[in-house]
A and B are shown apart, each in its own frame.
Chain A
């Protein structure tokens, strides 16, 4: 009896295994075809010379050698780091400010929620063109607004000093996703905590500092991690608006990789560069998770 039952049990399990793999099969096949397979290929390609038109030939560490001596590798890393480490914290702060506004209890706040989110659904390409026009040195809206305050006009995207800050401003306009994440978190903070803090004599700012901020640290953390990963990959704005210029100040990493892969047809070198970006992102994500233990507050532990 016992033997039969255990056999039956294992048959049920076998059936479950079969069904499980049947359901996840589309993803599993896609994962092997479009993710795992290509990634293994990418490792190999990183050690080859591959001008696309002819097959790859193994060239050992030549690509690595080339990368370490490549001035533009360093420049693109610096540009990307500048854009990310100034841009993402600014985005997080701005998104939190907007979410705090939208969390106020007033009539018609839903209209503002939609309005604040609207820029985020604008196609990236359209947004880039719009901002190119706004930043136009001769007839753009940005210089007009400056002129109202008596500030002389700037060259914005076309000024080596201002090109990256201009792109940061552009991205700030589209923080809707971060903002909605914060808003969801703010709405989850129980009113009783604010009431308790108010009874203890905490003012508005003290309440924000000691009640709100600690409770939403997991969301600040989430937005930072996701923001940094996507900011490392900025491409469209630089590709369309500045083409990496002026004087390489917006040559960001993915644009640099793109040019080698699809314009100079150096797929082998580009593969190595892609791997390097992957490791940079991986390291930053791990470091952030380590640091999170110090400053991120989880209610349930």
Chain B
């Protein structure tokens, strides 16, 4: 950090030396760079300005399309080794992408200018082929790329600070704007003033921006008044002139930012003929063509915080459309607040169009946004942290803290301090964060101007990032990055080759750098080499330098072998690998061997080791694959096989099975031409009569015998699988099968095998015969049958028995036994052997259905099907289902009562009584049946229900009885009470009493229980009684209820051990009985003093309820009075209202209304009728004449005056005018 704050003495010295050097060498700085700093030529290593992302060939495509890619300045030669401050925050590249450089030379010059000539702090800068820096006192320092000061210029007109600087396209002219409004044009070579333009902008305002457009003689200038001016430079007869024109007046919105599109495409882009400028005010931004004529292409609203300025930046970007068409078009990034919007500008159908591309949201408000190459945008936020954003992924790649750069702000210009502050308040507020002229970009570099320093942030290319990481010995990251790049280049062969070369270079650097710690980051580098396929380097260079520290290397290699990224290693390595894993984990070695190509193994070493360490799989694999010897391992491993070596045995079985199926062990296929040979060899080996060694006491067929001994069942499975192969299906194959079967029979004699094993074999044979895989040999069949029909086999498991049955069944169903004996004999045999499945089959076959159920009952496995069978055949009379059901009812109920009951209830409801009769002796079965019936919600007669209740009482506990009583109905209460009382089930009795609504009895009985209850249960009992009483509150007369409560409380209150519930009891009681009495009761009991707390609530509630009642009374009285009053008022109002009668006659009787009888006026229509006429039309909802709605209130009757002749005559005499003066009668409203 130190070197950032102030240029150190060292750096000053360096910069001095740098400048003298470059002075001598003048413009040959490129040569100097290459020689002195050993920078490789650009065609080998991408130069600084090709961005990381350009690695993905965008620049190439751009040039293919004829677009020159903008070139930045060459690498500054000094200050390269400045410390890089990699900020860890959020950057996934962790500081390897952005390169920070402090330009020592320029910074030193700025410092000395400030000190010696009072130039003031730097205020603006511009970068092109030169670097120009303006200062606050109007000085301009122009540097070349070697940071040598070429010239300095001082403003003589006291125009204040340099506010903006701009180089033209070929860097021959420098346009300078001052804070007091002067615009000057300088020659960049000499520093001569070419034009001084005093009156080109709004008078009395400062210059904010000067920009060159794509036309060489046209520049733009924005002033602090928010206006934009175009400056057209002319040179008539050698006299330089300039005409300025207002493009955009600040009166209609103040322009904050101006950004001309400069493409430098030399006519190869359609937009090149236009001179396009982006302008942004505080609320909008515009894309405008200035030439050929002024026209707005598009404008958009741009919202954001008031103190944030709009940001604009153009760049040519390769855009790949969804339809894979590619184009290079300018893309503008518009920033405001924390938002960045990307728009593409292109020509479609002759019109310039702006297309929205994407939107990126950052975490904090932005000060600046600049493109660094076509893929990245660098934006500085308000806390001066630089964020590098990848445009394609909208992801922040890296960030860097720039706080120490001492960034210069252009706030003074925006606030118009030099011209008296004549700017709008909004403009001044937004201008607090202005740094348009102190952060500038060129190519992939961002220049950040500090008060006395200039900083460069560059973007490293992929290759440079690797170099940088390597330089910092971050091998892990370097390798990862290198691999990422390599993988990303998958579909671009040329790039891929380059990436590979770069990785090899990285590897060489690694070799050169890590001699002392050869194991450092070995995994990453091994991974790299394996991914790019440079295995030779791995085996030779990397291996040879490891000396004796090979352990880690071998482990990494092993990992890769296990992941199957490599299949072959150098034999040298394989030897070391085998040695290493032999020592550490032979099991792991086996896995590795199975995954490795055998060609790279030292067979002599491996095979001997494998044999020594009993790595059977590897042994089988190597013998088979490498030595093409499929039998020797078998002959070696089989004879000593013991039944407890399950691993080896299973392994051998799998091996044999796969060999016989033409598969290679452990995976893959045996080559086509060898399959036949292998199958024959293996089979011959298995069935050979004697082993090669052939000891004297050896039993015949040692190999097959060993296998059978190990696991008969699985061996037979292997054989039966093998029988399905093509080789066994022809004529010869059948004889082979037969031979093998006889071999098996010969081996499996009762002396040498258990009955279970022989059973397996015979089952196997039976299956083979029945599936016609074996000829029906009578002798064989008899032998098989004799086994199958055995009556008693010692230790026969259920599985074995069922296998025996199914084998027999198979034989029968394939009709194999017809030659030996007929079905009747078979039936006999089967019954004796208790093979009920077979018996069932035979009975079915012989149509003797009357006993089938018995077989099913005996066969436990068939119980499920039994019920289905009964269900299916219930209607077939010859199946005798009912008879059998009747006969076996007890057993069936035992097996599955629910199913049986279902059958009976569904199909034989009429036989119910008969069946119940049948069970009368067997209480339990009867109970089950009834219970199931009840559960099925069958309507049982009350007698049956009571019988069931009786059975419940006999067989089940009190709880079950209670549960039954609760859940079912249909029993007669009195009978039920009798039964339950007989069994002295008090609780059930209480329940039934309650059902009967004999609460008093229930209560008495409960009290009995409570008195008998022990200390532990008393509380529960008491609660139950309280609940009972609560339930009875509806039905029990109040007096009785109160008496009950008192009985209960009188018992509870004195009990010391029931104190815990006293309170809740009192509470409960207080809801049902009179509080006074309750209180009295409490007072009368002895231990009142101890339980004041208990009755406190009681008293409180009494007081509260009393107060509430008083209050309620008062409120009720109030309301009553109020209602009365309002009613009166209403009545009065209605009574006082005049009534307008429009008709003279009653609507109903058509008689005159004015006849002293009560009259009803119907409503607003003014029609009326006699009250007595109303009775005739009782339902008067609306006026019968005109359907007008009636008023809501009661119709008022009134007596219309009988107009006396006198009155009539007097009214007649009245003048018409006086009548008109009266207000017209009101209508109902």
Are A and B a genuine interacting pair, yes or no? no
